[in-house]
Every structure is written in C-alpha cells, then in structure tokens.
Amino acid sequence: MQEKPYGAARETMVSFAQGQGATTAPILMNWSYQATIIVRTLGDEAMTQPAPTPAPNLAQIARAVTVPTRSGVTLSVRQAFAEDEHALAVFFDAVLPEDRRFRFLAAAGHLDHDRLAPMTHVDHWRTESFLAFDQATGELVASAVLACDAEMETGEVAISVRGDYRGRGVGWGMLNLVAAEGERRGLTRVIAIEDRANHAAIELEKDCGFVAHGVEGDPHIVMLEKTLR
C-alpha cells in the first residue's frame, strides 16, 4: 500500500477521485423564486415574470449533523466550502499559537489563502473538511480534516479547537465524528500525526481508541492509529 505522506491532513491538496467511483456527499439545493423583473414592454404596459433570487452559497444550504460533547456543549457540524475561508481565518486567529504549531507541525501566525484553501477546496470524498459550530451561539469553534490515501485505506485526521473551547469535549466529539466518517468511507484505519510534546492531543486520541507508534527517522513526532475494520 502506498501511504499518503505524513501531515497530509494539515497541508491537504485538492485531489479529486476521478475514475475511482467517488461520490460527493448529498447537498440540498432548494430555494424559492420570489423576485420579478421586467422582460419586455408593449406600448405603455410592462409585462413581468418571476425571476430567481440569487442562488445561496453552499455553506448556507449544507446539511449539518448534531454532535454532543462530554461537557454539554452541542455542536452543529457541516462540510467546509470556499465561502468559509474568511470564517476559518478568524477561527484560527483564536486558536492558541501552540495549537496552531501542533496542527501544522510548524510555526503559524495568521493563516493566509494558501494555508486556508486546502481546507475549503476539497472533493468531499477522498478529502473532507469539517466545521463545528456551537449550537447555542452559532460561533465556529472547531475545524477538522480527513485526508485519505489514493487506495481509500488510510485516512489522516487533524483537528483544531478554538482556545476558549479547549477542555470542553469538543476535540473528543470531533475525533469520534471523523473516525465514523472514515469508517463510512470504507477506510481500514485512521491515523493522526502528533508532535510528541502535544500531550493533550495524544491522550485524547488514546482515550478514543488510538494506539501510539514511533515514526522511524523522526523522534519528534508520533503516529496514533485506530483500526476501523
């Protein structure tokens, strides 16, 4: 099996599964026609006909699932789209600097378009990007990516939680959701690549059934693996 390079979920590139029988998740396309426009004039009388309102963007009509957490926070989770880039930029500004470094395995300040695009332009099958909103406030509080290899056997997971939502079960809920999505896609396993200093993430993943392995050639990172089938 050809492995996807480590860190793929952090620096995900768009890789459409053409010719692989890939299927995108269902999207609700359901909006009304309300406005009217003048189409032609006969003498002094204007004839009108219904015209469509501007089509809503995908972020507005995407289906969301409800994810409970152990702290009582209820999340509304949906796919991420191109329209979410600004919201993601603001979100990552509120992620603790150390957590941004752990997420991208490198120092990261304000994320620019090149860093955000791989999380907003995905094929929604081989690569999926999730956004989690606090149902009580509507605020974006977590981001997760599942990046699968070409054989759809292994998926790498990467999760970030807003600083003021750490320790509230958000990471736990998102990790279980993403693992379940990997299983639904038929993956054999999901993995997470962590800096060895990221003790909180490592313990969380172990708590969710992941097993830690060393990475040959790099003593500073650890791979955590959960077998799905």
Structural domains in the chain, CATH included, are 64-188 (3.40.630.30)
Strand-pair category, 154-161 with 189-195: parallel
**Distance (Å, rounded) from C-alpha 67 to C-alpha 65?**
6
**Distance (Å, rounded) from C-alpha 55 to C-alpha 29?**
9
**Distance (Å, rounded) from C-alpha 40 to C-alpha 12?**
50
104 contacts 161 by C-beta, under 8 angstroms: no
pTM here is 0.75
**Distance (Å, rounded) from C-alpha 71 to C-alpha 49?**
53
Q: Which of 14, 2, 134 is nearest to 67 (CA)?
A: 134
Return the CA Rg of the chain: 21
The DSSP secondary-structure symbol of 82 reads G
130 contacts 80 by C-beta, under 8 angstroms: yes
pLDDT of residue 49: 62
Q: Dihedral sign for Cα 162, 164, 166, 172, please.
A: negative
Q: Per-residue confidence of the chain (229 residues) as pLDDT tens digits?
A: 444 445 666 554 333 333 333 333 333 333 333 333 334 444 555 455 666 766 667 777 788 999 999 999 999 999 999 999 999 999 999 999 999 999 987 777 899 999 999 999 999 999 999 999 999 999 999 999 999 999 999 999 999 999 999 999 999 999 999 999 999 999 999 999 999 999 999 999 999 999 999 999 999 999 999 999 8
Going across the sheet that includes 189-195, the strands are: 64-68, 74-79, 127-134, 140-148, 154-161, 189-195, 218-227, 211-215
